[in-house]
Chain A
Amino acid sequence: MTTALNTLFITVEGTRLNKEGERVVVTVKDEKKAEVPLRHLRSVVCLTRAWMTPELLESCVEAGIHVSFFGVTGRFLARVEGLPGGNVLLRREQYRAADDGGRTLAIARAMVVGKVSNARQFVLHAKRDAAAEQVPSLEDAARRLAEHLRAVGRAEELEQVRGLEGIAARDYFEAFPGLLKGGARRFGFDGRNRRPPRDPLNALLSFGYALLAQDCAGALAGVGLDPAVGFLHEDRPGRLSLALDLMEELRAPVVDRLVFSLVNRGQLKPEDFKEEAAGAVMLRDEARKAFLVAYQAAKQVEVQHVFLGQQTSWGLVPHLQALLLARTLRGELDGYPPFAVR
């Protein structure tokens, strides 16, 4: 599974995808742009309107390659996959655990521990090369996150866990302006907003989270779990609650880190975004492409998996965590070990 992490992103309107032999052929306006062996693919993500032959779709479904479609604004539309993988007994165990208050609390608590702990680590890392005048606010944020983390560890009610998660998220986002450097200060940031995002930084975060959610959903489906039945997030029709659960611990180290490194290094500028009449902000096409390339590259970066005691890549982390969650549900582990950033 280490070799098959690649995702094919389609960003050019009117792209055609068809199958030749065991390869996916990408054509734009009758010009062949790329050929990818099917066995190297893990998923196909269409970020714009694209054609795909039924033959290719059939092969993707057969080979367990997930195909997902996003609207032009980055909104998730649909996902095509075959029969759910894995074991129906595992899924039943997932549903039983989701209906069991004690087990739900334990898993949700572990996930929020992961989220808050990694958010704090992110702030601490960023503080090391922050401007002197930003340091106190970042230290303050780290301090509050540590307190929330301790409180989460002691929480005995699910609602308490969810409440602490919300408070920690608010404190964390309050620290964001202090993470912007040099020219990136022009971005400004006044708290997290979405639906629709109303400033460039929020547009980037939303786009990144949408991609990460799909990666998490794919990883969960890959081990046979139902991405829609969560623990921290309540079930809601059309929502991939378990994917959102799994994503919590990865938001800061995967998406937020990437967003800040792109804007702080000047790779994305306020001019790369456009604002609609009502104030919604979206990425221009070139910026979307740049972000996708960077997102894919970030997945190749090596990272230490503390619990497993091994090196891995960021791209594999959702898959490893999905496996660990399956082990937890099956009772092979005494709890869910969230991914921990050092």
Chain B
Amino acid sequence: MTSASETWVALSALQHLLFCERQAALIHVEQLWREDVRTATGRLLHERVDLPGHDARPGRRVERAVRLGCERLRLVGRADLVEYHPDATSPTGWRPYPVEVKRAKRKSLEADSVQLCAQALCLEEMHGVAVPEGALFHVAQHRRQVVMLDARLRARTEEAVARMHELLARGHVPVVARAPKCESCSLEPLCMPHVTAGQRRASDHLRRMVELVDPETVS
């Protein structure tokens, strides 16, 4: 068991958590498919995101693969892309604007919004500036969707962070019943939801192997 004060939640874990608690725990507690996650991260860092028109406005700065952290929530990770907009109402004269780039077809708006919001919470702490808004960029549809980071979304995000802390601190992998979404989960072969949450009992399997054997049956 780890002391709760030592655990840090990866920004990417929140999306996994909202998709499926077991998936999040398999990746972040069991560290299954570590290499695949890392490979994916590497690809992310090397791939330049081409956002139409994002450099068009004067004074707008774009940073990629920005390392983020939030001490208060013990949250750490990277943002694909953070824009810094000029903003006269900000004490610093500019305002961070996280943009989460979605390559795959959208699975869950809530999961994407929570991940974006978590980035915003990090940016607020790191820059000391309020971040009221961000955007999701859907590569497939070539569309940018503005997300208001309101109180409800912030509460949902903090709740997800707390739950992830709990799983990490307990080293716990919850058993989850098989669901339709399992079809789209790349961890399904390792998770084996039909085995762990299903009715398959190893003791029955063993009993069949032993007791149904008739020494006289030799054909």
Contacts and interface: CB of A to CB of B under 8 A. Distances in A.
Given A86-B31, A308-B192, A327-B196, A334 B201 contact: yes
Interface in B129-175: 171, 173, 175
A163 interface: no
A153 B211 CA distance: 8
A62 B190 CA distance: 20
A307 B217 CA distance: 23
Given A1-B190, A323-B192, A327-B196, A110 B206 contact: yes
A340 B30 CA distance: 27
A337 interface: yes
Contacts of A324: 192, 195, 202
Decide if the interface of chain A is mainly helix, strand, loop or mixed: helix
A153 B31 CA distance: 35
Contacts of B203: 334-335
Nearest to A335: B202
Nearest to B38: A62
Contacts, number: 113
A114 to B, nearest CB: 7
B206 A337 contact: yes
A328 B32 contact: no
A113 interface: yes
A277 interface: no
Q: Which of B189, B210, B216 has the most CB of A within 10 A?
A: B210
B29 interface: yes
A315 interface: no
A97 interface: no
A332 interface: yes
Contact of A87 (B30, B196, B211): B30
A224 B189 CA distance: 16
A327 B205 contact: no
Contact of B31 (A87, A149, A150, A323): A87
Contact of A124 (B196, B200, B210, B219): B219
Nearest to B2: A89
A318 to B, nearest CB: 14
Interface string B7-32: 00000000000000000000001111
B206 A113 contact: yes
A323 B187 CA distance: 12
A340 B209 contact: yes
A85 B209 contact: no
Interface string B183-219: 0000001101011100011110111011101111111
Q: Which of A139, A146, A147 has the most CB of B within 10 A?
A: A146
Contacts of B195: 307-308, 324, 327, 333
Given A87-B29, A87-B30, A224-B32, A152 B196 contact: no
Interface in A46-67: 62-64
A117 interface: yes
A120 interface: yes
Contacts of A149: 209-210, 213
Contacts of A323: 190, 192
Interface in A116-147: 117, 120, 124, 127, 138-139, 142-144, 146-147
B90 interface: no
B35 interface: yes
B61 interface: no
B202 A120 contact: no
A12 interface: no
A310 to B, nearest CB: 9
B107 interface: no
Contacts of B211: 150, 153
A237 B189 CA distance: 33
Given A138-B218, A308-B194, 20 more contacts: A87-B29, A87-B31, A89-B171, A113-B209, A144-B215, A146-B213, A149-B209, A149-B213, A224-B31, A309-B200, A323-B190, A324-B195, A327-B195, A327-B196, A332-B173, A332-B196, A333-B196, A335-B206, A337-B205, A338-B206
Interface of B: 29-35, 38-39, 171, 173, 175, 189-190, 192, 194-196, 200-203, 205-207, 209-211, 213-219
Q: Which 4 A-B pairs have the closest CB atoms?
A: A153-B210, A335-B202, A64-B35, A146-B215
26 contacts: A1-B189, A62-B38, A86-B34, A87-B29, A87-B30, A87-B31, A110-B206, A113-B206, A120-B213, A138-B218, A143-B215, A144-B215, A150-B215, A153-B210, A224-B31, A307-B205, A308-B200, A323-B192, A324-B195, A327-B192, A328-B202, A333-B195, A333-B202, A337-B202, A338-B206, A338-B209
